[in-house]
Amino acid sequence: MTSRRTVRRGCAVTVAAAAVFSALAGTPTAAATPAGLDEVLFVGNNWEGTADVIKSTGSYDKLGRINMIPDKDERLREIYLNPVKLAFYLGIRATAGEGHDQFVDDMYTTPDGSAVVASRPSFADVVSIDLTSGKINWRFPVSGFRADHMAVSPDGTRVAVSASTSNTVHVLDIATGTQVGSFATGDKPHENVFTDGGRYLWNMSIGEVNTPLDAPELDFTKGDRRITIVDAQTFQTVKVINMRDRLDAFGRKDLSNSVRPVAFSPDERTLYFQVSFFNGFVEYDIAADRITRIKELPKNPATNPDRTTWVNDSRHHGMSINRDGSKLCIAGTMDDYVTTVDTTTLQESALVPAGKPYWATVNGDGTQCVISESANDTVSAIDFATGQKVATVPVGDHPQRVRLGHVPAGWTAPTGGDEGGTGSLDSLGTPGSSGSSGS
């Protein structure tokens, strides 16, 4: 395992930074499903500790459920015997978890479809779970006390995970869980995205989102919020972007510079992103290094205007873009709707009611956006062409991340997939025989 690298803040390599912002050729096409595999959607039920597997298109029929915390008793024993770990575990439950444990955040499958790799915030780790046996192949404890968003490299061989309390991103070999590199970020690293065919890795740090200091005049208390771009082979920083300067130059000093979910245009020349407390999104020209447009979306009059009641400083959290880059799909989290937006005109479609939508992903054939309705324990599909909801599927408790993946053709879930649930002191009787190999 390589040691964590320390990188200085700022623009480290001018030539490399220029390469990041150079024009990228072509629009990526959808990859064909490998022989012997079926394409599916994984839905992470964060509070329950399970993942539902559903068809990636059409009816979105449910194919099975996987227990993402088969080692729950073992992990809880470790936590309750360590006062520092226990304090953070309970803190996650009280803040980001809204009174619940966060057992599964992000998920990606291995290239051969044999395992699903997931980050588990409350357990501060990443695990690989065998899709046939349901047992843990490997486990990687992240630095600090919480694991968060991940990204998988275009070739599927590496997975990057944000360690949100140590301001670090770990990059792991997806097959073995071995760390191949890491890099420092701003405060509370969040979203990760590989670009340029896997040459670069972008991380967006969102700062302190769990404090009650949410008034606009207290924005300075939120910490170091920035985009860190690194070379995905050397893990050296090639560019740091603080959107504060760009927002100010655009005349929006009122907006937070905490970059939340993002969506790149297919040619990777434009970045769309959401920021804390804002019902809308920002358009950023990567080569010109400037904000070009800001879209404010409608407010739900029923939404509590008290910003301290918004989950983790979010107002809107979740966005995706269709394959030709013509439509965005926006999850209006605290406003309880989803809408599609034309990227040329920035005109939104009719608002579709949704229960605290928390994420947005493009489906298997690229024609629809799939959102998680965390308040309703469902996922729903929104047609990019019409902006209408065309399907809703019940899933587990508090769905958040939804990701495309693969399973073996004709796959059936391993037994025990309906297990999971919130941990407690009562569950600390016998450590689970999960097949965990440790770190």
State yes or no: pLDDT of 1 exceeds 70: no
CA distance 377 to 93: 19
Angle at 119 (CA atoms; ends 2, 195), nearest 5 degrees? 70
The encoded tokens of residue 319 equal 């966005």
Q: What is the largest CA-CA distance in the chain?
A: 59
Mean pLDDT of 247-256: 97
Mean pLDDT of the chain: 90
Q: Which of 223, 224, 216, 266 is nearest to 241 (CA)?
A: 224
Strand partners, 126: 119, 140
Higher per-residue pLDDT: 324 or 424: 324
pLDDT of res. 417? 59
pLDDT score, position 33: 86
* The dihedral sign for the CA sequence 206, 257, 197, 357: positive
* Topology (CATH level 3) of domain 14-20+35-421: Methylamine Dehydrogenase; Chain H (2.130.10)
Q: CA 161, CA 145: separation in Å to the nearest integer? A: 13
In angstroms, the CA 236 to CA 12 distance is 8
Q: Which two tokens stand for residue 257?
A: 């510079």
Confidence of residue 124 (pLDDT cuts 50, 70, 90): very high
pLDDT level of residue 32 (50, 70, 90 thresholds): confident
Confidence at residue 253, expressed as pLDDT on a 0 to 100 scale: 95
Task: State yes or no: pLDDT of 402 exceeds 50.
Answer: yes
For 86, the enclosing helix (H) or strand (E) is helix 83-94
User: Tell me, what's the pLDDT at 259?
Assistant: 97
Whether 321 has a pLDDT exceeding 80, the answer reads yes
Q: What is the pLDDT of residues 61-76, one digit of tens each?
A: 999 999 999 999 999 9
First to last CA, the chain: 11
The answer for 187, left when phi > 0, alpha when psi is -120 to 50, beta otherwise, is: beta
pLDDT band per the 50, 70, 90 thresholds, residue 142: very high
Domain coordinates of the chain in residue numbers? 14-20+35-421
Q: Are 235 and 210 in contact (CB under 8 A)?
A: no
What pLDDT is attached to residue 308? 92
Q: Which residues pair with 166 in a beta bridge?
A: none
Contact residues for 129 (Cβ-Cβ < 8 A; gap 6+): 66, 68, 70, 115, 116, 117, 118, 135, 136, 137
The CA radius of gyration of the chain, in Å to the nearest whole number, is: 20
C-beta separation of 311 from 47 below 8 A? no
Rounded mean pLDDT, 270-278: 97
Query: In 3D, which of 122, 93, 120 has the Cα closest to residue 106?
Result: 120
- Does 428 score more than 80 pLDDT? no
Q: The pTM is what?
A: 0.89
Which DSSP string corresponds to 129-174?
A: EETTT--EEEEEEPSSS-EEEEEE-TTSSEEEEEETTTTEEEEEET
**pLDDT recorded at residue 65:** 98
Amino acid, res. 292? T
What's the rounded Cα separation, in Å, for the pair 57 and 228?
Answer: 34
CA distances from 351 to 58, 249, 346, 416 (A): 22, 31, 14, 39
Q: What pLDDT shows up at residue 211? A: 87
Q: Tell me the pLDDT tens digit for each residue of 16-29.
A: 444 445 433 333 44
- Residue 433 above 80 pLDDT? no
Structure confidence at residue 418 (pLDDT) = 62
DSSP code string of 310-370: SGGG-SS--EEE-TTSSEEEEEETTTTEEEEEETTT--B-PPEE-SSEEEEEE-TTSSEEE
